[in-house]
Structures are given as structure tokens and as C-alpha cells.
Amino acid sequence: MQNIILLLFTIFFATGSYFLLAELCKVPSYRASKVILNAGRKRKKQVKDSDAFILELAEKLAKILPMEEYKRRKIAGVLKSAEISMTPEVYVAQAYVKAGLVLSGIIPCLIFIPLLFPVFLVLGIGVYFSESGSAEKLIKQRREEIEFELPRFVATITQELMASRDILSMLESYQKNAGPALKNELMITTADMRTGNYEAALTRLEGRVSSAMLSDVVRGLIGCIRGDDGVTFFRMLSHDMKQLEVQRLKRLAMERPPKIRRYSFVLLGCMLMIYMGVMGYQILGTMSGMF
């Protein structure tokens, strides 16, 4: 009973201290942060209250978080490619905050169920690495989605080059039937081509996606703009991409069994957690009976 009273006192004292400090430091409420997040997001999905609260804590931590200039420039480039409107300091601080919130579950575990201490420790470390690499995962997912569509894109360009040399018209025609990721990039590129230099717009497309396969496509398109005969080049490129697509499909088929084994390990971990919980409950019941 004393432990429960102590835990409740700690929670209420920490909450009250936070609200007092927030009022003194003029910290904006999580509702204001939520409105800002919703206004800045391109997706229609609404921001949760928890996300706004985490962002609020991350912004405060980012002011005192040290960061090297090289690391800052690197993270800023990744965030720009991932289209995340967040400073590098806030991005890193957000990972620290989410991991810290998970690790805070260690405190009640030490009081009530010490056997669950390693579980929260592993979860906190996993959350940190997951959140710190979320931007890279988003870029990789978008790049893979674009590369998956490139064979059809190259085949279409090959057919179009036999009748026309208007690169802008080709991109705008394919944009209507392209996938979400490639459609967004083509929309940006065509708008850039209409207001500026064609080669510079295609070069910026290559820099945003950072794909070796797309670099070959951009090099062929730039060659066509300069007057080269791109039909032969794109025919060979289409053949190579079809071979890469077959290899990718084979690799995906071979990855299925390891994924099944991964779920088996997750099931085993859940069973071990249940066993540890029951064992801890029995130990606590025995200890309370002795006293």
C-alpha cells in the first residue's frame, strides 16, 4: 500500500511540476502544437494528441541538445529528401523523447515487477533506433516504389521516342498513370522544366530520389534533349531493367520463409513474457504470504 501511495505521489508531483514550469516558461499547449502539425502535414491523416505532446517535449530538448555541424547537415539533407518539415535537432530530440517515455516504464517495474525491467530496456533501445532511422526508411520505401515502376516507365519512353522527341510531353503523359511516388516526382519535375532548364530539372529529380536505376533514365533523357538517338539506349535499358525486375521478384519470394521465422520468434518472445509474468506473480504472492 505504501508503494502505491508513493507511486501516485510521484506521478502527481511530476505532473504538477510540469504544468507550473510550462506556465512560467510560456510553453505552448499540446493543442497548439497539434494545430501546427496538422497545418504542415501534406497527408490528410490527423495528428494524435500524443504526437503533439511528444513534439512539444522534443522542441524543448532540442534547444539544449548538442550536435556537430557535419551531422546536422547530413540529417538536414535526409529530412529534406524525406519531405519532413522538421529541424535536425528536433528530429533527434523526438527519438530521445519517445525512447525516454518507454524507458520511464522501468520505474514502476522496479517497484512492482522487477522481472519486467529488461523488457522495457530493450523496448526503449528499439524505439530509439527505430525513430532515429524513420526518415531513412521513408526514403528507402519511396525509392523502392519508384524503382519498381521504372521498367514500365522506360518501356513507355522507348515507344514514345519512336514518334516524338518532346521529353516534357512524355513525362506529363506518363504522369497521369504513374504510381503515387513517381507521380509526385514527375509533377515536381515537369513544373520545374516549364519554368527553367530541362537538364537542370532532370538533374534535381536524380538528386531527390538518389537511385542508380533512375540515374540511368535521367542520363538517357538528357542525351535525348542534347540530340542523341535515345531509342537504342532505352531499348537496352529496358532489357536490363526487366532482368533486374525478375531478380527482385525472385529475391522477394526467397524472403518469405525468413519472415515466417521472424513471426515465430515474436510468438516465442510473447510466451516467455507470459511465463515471466506468471512466475513473478507467484514469487510476489509467496513473499507476501511469508510476511
Contact, 202 vs 221, CB < 8 A? yes
Q: What percent of the chain has pLDDT over 70?
A: 77
Encode pLDDT of 252-279 as tens digits.
Answer: 777 666 656 666 777 777 877 887 777 7
Instruction: Say if residue 282's pLDDT is above 80.
Output: no
Mean pLDDT of 185-189: 91
Contact, 48 vs 30, CB < 8 A? no
Q: What mean pLDDT is reported for the chain?
A: 80
> Three cell numbers at 185?
516526382
pLDDT at site 57: 84
pLDDT at site 266: 75
Instruction: Say if residue 161's pLDDT is above 80.
Output: yes
- Distance separating alpha carbons of residues 104 and 95, to the nearest angstrom: 14
- Distance separating alpha carbons of residues 145 and 185, to the nearest angstrom: 12
Contact, 128 vs 98, CB < 8 A? yes
Alpha-carbon distances of 204 from 151, 198, 215, rounded to whole Å: 21, 10, 11
Q: Residue 85: name the closest of 128, 33, 42, 35 by CA.
A: 42
> Three cell numbers at 91?
528530429
Mean pLDDT of 206-220: 88
Cα dihedral sign, 272-273-278-280: positive
Got the DSSP string for the chain?
Answer: -HHHHHHHHHHHHHHHHHHHHHHHTTPPPHHHHHHHHHHH-SSSPPPPHHHHHHHHHHHHHHTS----HHHHHHHHHHHHHTT----HHHHHHHHHHHHHHHHTTHHHHHHT-GGGHHHHHHHHHHHHHHHHTHHHHHHHHHHHHHHHHHHHHHHHHHHHHTT---HHHHHHHHHTTS-HHHHHHHHHHHHHHHHS-HHHHHHHHHHHH--HHHHHHHHHHHHHHTT--HHHHHHHHHHHHHHHHHHHHHHHHHTHHHHHHHHHHHHHHHHHHHHHHHHHHHHHHHHHHH-
Q: What's the angle, vertex CA 236, arms to CA 230 and CA 238, rounded to 5?
A: 95
pLDDT at site 244: 80
User: Which pTM value belongs to this model?
Assistant: 0.63
Encode pLDDT of 17-69 as tens digits.
Answer: 666 665 665 555 555 555 555 554 544 455 566 677 788 888 888 888 888 99
Contact, 218 vs 202, CB < 8 A? yes
pLDDT at site 260: 61
